[in-house]
Structure 1
Amino acid sequence: MKYCDKCKVSVRGNREHCPLCNAVLHGEAEPSGFPRLPNEHKKHKLWISILALSSVSACIICLLLNFLFRKHGQWSLFVLGGVVCMWMTLGLALYKQRNIPKTMVWEVFLVGLLSVLWDYFTGWRGWSINYVLPIVSMGVMVVLVFLSRLFHVAAGSLIVYLLVDALMGVIQLVLLLTGCITVPLPSLLCVGVSTVMLAAMLIFRGRKVREELRRRLHL
């Protein structure tokens, strides 16, 4: 059985890292005492297959129509790009569905990156950094608070992901100070919400924040 020198506990199975502190385990692995869980993706296999067929059909139809009416421009490429973005966000949500806070934070970064790329390749009008990034960041920060009450998310995990998401407010502040933002209101609101979130965590959860960061950074 593998053993964690830091937590002083034995861990069954073939884990490489301790589930409590994430430190490296030592010793020989032994069979886990828990049954193997079925792949949860199979539960949604039918709906995913239907969505995949619908996506392929929509792309083919749009490509054919665009070929017939070429004088209207290559608008079918936008459809293809939209379908690819949809599957990227859906795939990330399915892959990390067991950890809601982590999924939402990753979705913020993915949606932000995709929106910036869309904005760049369509002529850069600035809508990605003026509207999408601040609004999505604010929405996720607020939703995480409600989810923590609704699904009883572990306080440690929630604190870390709220801190990461609150850093999006710092990014918006940098964009404001450098003059990249042309519509300041959404970014100012995002900075305000991020500041309030950070202040609330430091005031009400300061000790837990330090403990969680110390545990994850092995300080």
Structure 2
Amino acid sequence: MAYCSECGIEVTTERENCPLCGAKLQSAAPVFDSVFPVEVRPAAVEPLSWFEIRRILFGTLSFIFALGIISVLVVNLTQNGTLNWARYAVVSLAVGWSVLGLGLYLYSRPMALLWRAAGAVTFLLILLDIFYEGVSWSVTLALPIILLVLSLASWLWWLFQVARAHWASAVASILAAIAVLCFGVNFIVDLYTEGSLLPTWSAIVALSLGPPFLFLIYIRYRLSKTVDLPKVFHR
């Protein structure tokens, strides 16, 4: 048997040179000082966790909003020598930052996010009202409307997510919520502007929503108990 002095292969035929590298063959197997190199693969990079992504996004948002606030303050001070219009922009940017930050940390709790975002918006409206002419419309007009919207949204969320209402009841509840919202806004605005509590345009909206509301209630509590609706609509 012959062995290649360079690559170490064993050659069984009668040859003088290695068929692979052309080196001289020898009768004894060669001894190498080091082993053949092994391919080293880089370690797999693990993807970022949601906690890390959220932290990066929050830091980026904070930097962007802080830069905007600083820019507004510098421009206002440079142009006017005092802070006047910049306070509106600063408060709006601060509230926008807080709402987006809440969205990053409360995305899985929609009602908690909704109520906290509404609190931030209410704070914004009150401050804007104070900056303009003192507390006037923010408490008597904006705050009641916001509370009404939040109450109706919370009720609908409970109906859909907790009570798992029938589809007909769910749609009927949405129509009822729209009617209640219209009545509430009508009363709040008229009371603030005219001191009257008589429904005007909200009554027209409620009357127009009445027929589909009653039809959906009929489907839910009468028709669905006597007719197999899924079977009928899948024919």
- TM-score tier by shorter-chain length is 0.3 to 0.5
> Under a length normalisation based on structure 2, what TM-score does the superposition of the two structures give?
0.42
> Under a length normalisation based on structure 1, what TM-score does the superposition of the two structures give?
0.45
Q: Which has the higher contact order (CA 8 A, sep 6+)?
A: 1
